Structure 1
Amino acid sequence: MPTTDTRRLNPFALLGILLGVILLAVVVFRSFTRDVVEVRAAAVTYQNLVKSVPTNGKVEPISDFRAHAEGPGVISKIYVKVGQKIKSGDLLIQINDADAVAKLATAKAALSTAQASMHDLQQGGSQDERIALQGDQSRAKIQQQQAESDLAALKQLQQKGAASASEVAAAEQRLQTANSSLQNVEMRSTQRYSVPDRRRTEAQLSDAQAGVMAAEKGYANANIRSPLSGTVYSIPVSQYDFVQAGEDLVDVADLNKIQIRAYFDEPEIGNLAVGQPVTIVWEGKQDRVWHGHVTRVPTTVIAYGTRSVGECIIAVDDAQEDLLPNTNVTVTVTTQQRFNVLSIPREALHTEPSGRDFVYRIVNNKLVVTQVKVGVVNLMRVEITSGLTDKDTVALSAANSNRDLSNGLPVKVVD
């Protein structure tokens, strides 16, 4: 009986063959599936786009009156309360200001002295001086008349040989002296004060009048009245409080006319323009939104804490006395607004190192790099001005975050 040798395969060889078959199957499978990437996508659509800039700001009145103490004193009475509506001229606060009373009395005394000096100057002297001057003038006239009479009598006697020439000469000398004395007295009555004396007295009077006006103003400020109609929104003092000069007493404003002083970071300043619409929100009234517009754009950059900001003024258009002064608010300025423009999600936009913008358009389940031009860009969407139509679909990102998008990549759109 013939014998047949049976040759068996080595177990290690069988294992290697098996692993090779499995590896080949994996390679073949991956060759058919590796390039199909699941991606999220979005249609190119027409939408309204708004670009806005939010920041913080503080409310302040446009027209207000802040009363301050002109001098130290005690609050005698407060006639109003916070929230009260008042009219122009209404009495707000009364201060017991002894210092103002004393200053007014001193100023009035100085004015009386200056007025008396001016009266004396205009009348040629005080009453005592004028009486004394009149007496001197009467005596001088009597002396003159006596000298004239004596001279006339001596001249008659000289003609008769009863008086010498020396006696007549002496009489003439006495008459000249009497005439000179009378002339001096008359000059004293009509030209007592010189031009510099008059100017000095007039200056003293003007200074005294100004002093009284200032003192009266200070005294009047003890009774503080509002120069405008509005609402009392702050009274930081109480009755019987002692206040120092310059201390804030009461604040009044027309709360229908308010503005916001807002601070924008330096990179955002260039987007601001007068007239841009603004929305305002306040945490104190979360169900209320106010509207306004930019009235003044920043003219310089200042340090605001750790920020470099520009100061912007925003007028509130629909205030109804419900936005309080000094409150902190959030304002949002609409810097650009476009209606019914072609747009895509911002996530779909890519930028080359050269600065050109592009998107991955999906055509026949493959990605196609498409250059685009953009317009308004906000936080969510991008306006497309050229490169796409409303029939296009663009890729946003791979469903598997580890995969990168590339031109020609086969894709499958998933939600």
Structure 2
Amino acid sequence: MRTVLWTAGVAAVVVALIFGIRSLLHEDTPVRVAVATYQDLVSTISTNGKVEPIQAFEAHAASAGTVQKLLVREGQHVTAGTLMVQLDDSGALARVATARAGLAGAKGSFQDMSQGGSQDERISIAGDLNRSRLQVQQAQLDLSTLQQLQAKGAASTSEVSAAQSRLATAQANMDAVQKRSTARFAASDKTRIAAQLADNQAGLLAAEKNLAFAIVRAPFAGIVYSLPIRAYEFLNPGDEILRMADLNRMQVRAYFDEPDVGKLVVGQKVRVTWDARPNRAWHGHIVHTPSTIISYGTRNVGECLIAIDDAAEDLLPNTNVNALVTLQENPHVLSVPREALRTQGTQNFVYRVVKNQLVKTPVDVGAVNLTLVQIVHGLSEHDTVALNATNSDDLTPGLSVKPVQ
């Protein structure tokens, strides 16, 4: 019995020694940690875009000609109404004169038709009508006379018949002249003349518009930012003359990837940067969210318009810029790095570090951005949470750890 007790005691001591040695040799798992702190949590998305003026003007040559006067230079400020360029307008003047002559002829034809013909034609028809009336009157008198003579036996039946035939002919001639004076033109004739008049009016309007294009004036105050022509240079129809804009009123046409389109709201703040000026940033807001999805290179994007609020003639048209949209701002909220958050099923939790051991702690999550997550419930300020082990160990509840930076 005493031998059994002695053997059991030795075994217990051996086990205790083994565990003691293993405990002394065990190393705590090194883990990166962070502290829960109150800070501003801002959610953003970024993309690229192109700058364009809100108020812009482009002038193009309406017809072939030369530059007679060039009164501005590239980069010049101009006021509304300033004469900037004058082109050779001799050809345009000739086209206006031709169009006016054609319109005058069309108006004359329309007026003649409305009145039943030209003045000469109306006079001729009136003369023909008077003659035909006299012929009818004479034929009626001759017929009446012969009918009286026939009653007395002094005229034959054939003579009376001949007189009746002459009266019928005279009456038919008079009816034809009367019809010619009152219904000379058919409805199709009136439609044709009206169409010719409208065509000539449109031709004159186009010719006058081309003439007006020969003189280029500033429609509003702004800056001439593109002037590809030179004095006395020959221009073909459609050639660009100049571009001007109000560079204090600019916008960005930004291209957001399809998954981000639903996050955009009119009025959201935007920060715009340009690689050519890395120390300068512009600020604006969304004025129009995408209304459809389009293909943009290899991307499916929605076009969004961003008004620049602080443009000062230092953001050039057609430049490629970066746009950072603020989706949500949460000032002074308790936050931890996103990599501290873990999910098991529908439950969110973190590992708090308490006396160098991990304690699984359920948390309620609020706003999230690319680097931080808001903790609504479950943690207090200055609580230390584990991010990840610096070796291959998995983080588990109760694990002994050694915090490292």
1:411 is aligned to 401
* 2:81 pairs with 1:86: no
2:367 is aligned to 376
- CA shift, 1:148, in A, is 7.0
Matches within 5 A, 1:151-162: none
- CA shift, 1:337, in A, is 1.4
Matched position secondary structure for 1:246: coil
- CA shift, 1:50, in A, is 0.8
- CA shift, 1:212, in A, is 1.7
String of CA shifts for 1:30-73, please: whole Å, max 9, x gaps.
63142334444332211111111122111112232223333444
1:362 is aligned to 353
- CA shift, 1:140, in A, is 4.5
- The 2-side partners of 1:291 and 1:120 are apart by 67
Q: Which moves more between the two structures, 120-129 or 166-175?
A: 166-175
String of CA shifts for 1:289-327, please: whole Å, max 9, x gaps.
211112233344333223333322212122233222111
- Which residue type is aligned with residue 349 of structure 2? F
C-alpha change, 1:346 and 1:123, in structure 2 (3 Å) is closer
1:388 is aligned to 379
* 2:66 pairs with 1:74: yes
- The 2-side partners of 1:134 and 1:99 are apart by 46
- The 1-side partners of 2:293 and 2:187 are apart by 59
Would you say the 8 A contact 2:293–2:301 is kept in 1? yes
- The 2-side partners of 1:393 and 1:181 are apart by 120
- CA shift, 1:341, in A, is 1.0
* 2:312 pairs with 1:320: yes
Q: Which moves more between the two structures, 165-174 or 179-188?
A: 165-174
- CA shift, 1:394, in A, is 1.7
- The 2-side partners of 1:191 and 1:39 are apart by 107
1:220 is aligned to 212
1:6 is aligned to none
Matches within 5 A, 1:188-199: 188-199=180-191
1:64 is aligned to 56
Among 302, 311, 314, the alignment partner of 2:303 is: 311
1:4 is aligned to none
- CA shift, 1:278, in A, is 0.9
Would you say the 8 A contact 1:144–1:179 is kept in 2? yes
Percent of counterpart pairs with the same letter?
A: 51
String of CA shifts for 1:238-273, please: whole Å, max 9, x gaps.
333444433333223232322111122333333322
String of CA shifts for 1:81-130, please: whole Å, max 9, x gaps.
33333344443433336664554344333323222222332443334434
1:272 is aligned to 264
Would you say the 8 A contact 2:30–2:391 is kept in 1? no
- Which residue type is aligned with residue 280 of structure 2? R
- CA shift, 1:355, in A, is 6.0
- Which residue type is aligned with residue 112 of structure 1? A
TM-score, length-normalised on structure 2? 0.80
Among 274, 278, 286, the alignment partner of 1:294 is: 286
2:41 is aligned to 49
TM-score, length-normalised on structure 1? 0.78
- The 2-side partners of 1:132 and 1:391 are apart by 113
2:200 is aligned to 208
Matches within 5 A, 1:49-198: 49-96=41-88, 100-101=92-93, 103-137=95-129, 139-140=131-132, 174=166, 177-178=169-170, 180-182=172-174, 184-198=176-190
- CA shift, 1:166, in A, is 6.4
- The 2-side partners of 1:157 and 1:366 are apart by 152
1:19 is aligned to none
C-alpha change, 1:178 and 1:303, in structure 2 (3 Å) is closer
- Which residue type is aligned with residue 410 of structure 1? S
Matched position secondary structure for 2:267: coil
- The 2-side partners of 1:104 and 1:26 are apart by 112
Alignment root-mean-square deviation, CA: 3.6
Unaligned runs of 5+ in 1: 1-24
C-alpha change, 1:158 and 1:410, in structure 2 (3 Å) is closer
Unaligned runs of 5+ in 2: 1-16
Among 18, 26, 30, the alignment partner of 1:34 is: 26
Q: Which moves more between the two structures, 366-375 or 241-250?
A: 241-250
C-alpha change, 1:191 and 1:369, in structure 2 (3 Å) is closer
- Which residue type is aligned with residue 61 of structure 1? P
Would you say the 8 A contact 2:29–2:391 is kept in 1? no
Would you say the 8 A contact 1:71–1:97 is kept in 2? no
2:7 is aligned to none
- The 1-side partners of 2:351 and 2:226 are apart by 61
Would you say the 8 A contact 1:51–1:377 is kept in 2? yes
* 2:353 pairs with 1:344: no
String of CA shifts for 1:332-389, please: whole Å, max 9, x gaps.
111121111111133433344x464332211122222223232222233221122211
- The 1-side partners of 2:340 and 2:169 are apart by 121
- CA shift, 1:157, in A, is 8.5
